[in-house]
Structure 1
Amino acid sequence: MILITEFMDEAWVDWLRARTDIDYQPDLPDRPDDLARSATGAAALIVRNRTQVRGDLLDTGFRVVGRLGVGLDNIDTDGCRARGIEVIPATGANTLSVAEYVVTTAAMLLRGAYFMRPAMEAGDWPRGPAGQGREIAGKVLGLLGYGAIAREAARLGRALGMSVIAHDPFAGDFEGAEAVTRDALLARADVVSLHVPLTEETKGLIGAGALAAMKPGAVLVNAARGGIVDERALCDALRDGRLAGAALDCFATEPLGAENPFADVPNLILTPHVGGVTAEANARVSEMIARAVADRLDLPA
């Protein structure tokens, strides 16, 4: 039996169902007390980013975890390795969707006119402020981290006339970008986009100090992981006008809850961790993981 704990492309759920028993409960992360019970007897789990694959869950007997995405911070990979549990991420399947999110959202933030709807609905005609937006062509795209998604964002940015700089102490090369220090990137970039995992070293990486070091009028995009950005410090920077805008697709706490700091913060785009989730990416991710899990369980191709 395969337990699927979060949403998956229905065609590939059916593809798996034709080959083995499937327990499809896409709301299971909202019912954590039921998770271990449902996993007992499963040969494999298929999860996204909300299911916490750790603790007692690791001892319920599954042999494979298929991750519908690439980040693994919700999975105790060391614990899985110690128990012989294979973890399979959908590497590359949603790269284009995240990269498109980064570049198109950056263009919206630079243009600024898309925030004028409330004033227009109130009867105003804010053509003057709306006409102060900027083109994305000629701007500097700064990528903190230079893995596959950042490289695709760099390609798209260059196609729109941007120049690209990047900082990544672990990158083997910087093809398509100029390698710079972190401080230089913050000082030069018109758009700062984050492409690093959440680790002890990157937690709070973009705090008050980093935000103050950014180029005046720059915009920030985080479609990587929550916790990398100090959310309250970012809200302060937006309220003070030090930054022109920001977009967050991932958060320190998901869902946000009522005590989040974002109410009435200007020039801020919030999306519910969907940078890598489009119809096309969901189909690619689901197919990759369905086929990989079926292969590991020796199910028919």
Structure 2
Amino acid sequence: MADERARRIADFVEPLRVEPGTRVRVDRDFDPRFKAGLKKRDSAELLRSGVELLAEYQERLAAQDTYGVLLCLQALDAGGKDGTIRHVMSGVNPQGVRVSSFKVPSAEELDHDYLWRYGMRLPGRGEIALFNRSHYEEVLVVRVHPELLLRQRLPEAARGHGVWKRRYREINDWERCLTDNGFKVVKIFLNLSKEEQRTRFLKRLDLPEKNWKFSAADVRERRHWDEYQHAFSRMLSATSTEWAPWYVVPADRKWFARICTAAILAHTLIGIDPHYPEVDGAARRELRAVRAELEREAPEGLPADPYAARHPKAAGA
């Protein structure tokens, strides 16, 4: 059953994966409204199953303490990153998950190389780290607004011809280093249509409780829609690798985007296949001695081991 579940998840996420080495165009190759034949009425149960699976594997990941997972979420404004994180990670142990959002770089961050601040937020072994926006901002918003390169105070040669090609290479090398050392990198682009973004912006204006989420800067960025589509296309083509592939998730339907994100993360954890550490012979003998001591302390008339009495199959596990 576990193998069948893993196969179904792998088959589900494969069409979302950007094949390494291919040249893609966001507006041509991906449908923001794709839903793989699923129905919204089934989405709650599917997401619940995915969250339960994530909780199971996260516990094993933390116990093994060998691998870490970095999940990068990229999207345009109103793409659904916050809601996706909230729903997909709703059932996991918060002690094993860290979420980082990256805003405009601080003065201290600008005093370092452009990957420095992201490196400071990487997961430890046994952890899952989520980047709400990520190091890919350095080839997206900075590419659309190249004047931001000046704020980074780079040497002239580092911001001249070939800067984006070089950054793609540097990012690929950085992610290869992470994966070689046991840190899996999962990258998801929530692909939102221009019309759906317009609708969500208007909803934020229409509902007073959502006004706080709206910024006039979001509309100013929307004017660069075509430039962002080009930047996303180049990013996906250049940085989807065998060791850190990109997945393009249709985001016009929030419920489907959340199911996809849960499935992609589950697929990654299944691939790691973390196991609980095994207890060696000496430790087992010590456990048996401790068990015997605790059982002798049982009050008269009560089971020596209440849990084993309720769960006979677990006795002696």
TM-score (norm 1): 0.29
Q: Tell which has more relative contact order, 1 or 2 (C-alpha 8 A, sep 6+).
A: 2
> By percentage of residues, which structure has more helix?
2
Query: More strand per residue: 1 or 2?
Result: 1
- Provide TM-score, normalisation by structure 2: 0.28
Larger Rg: 2
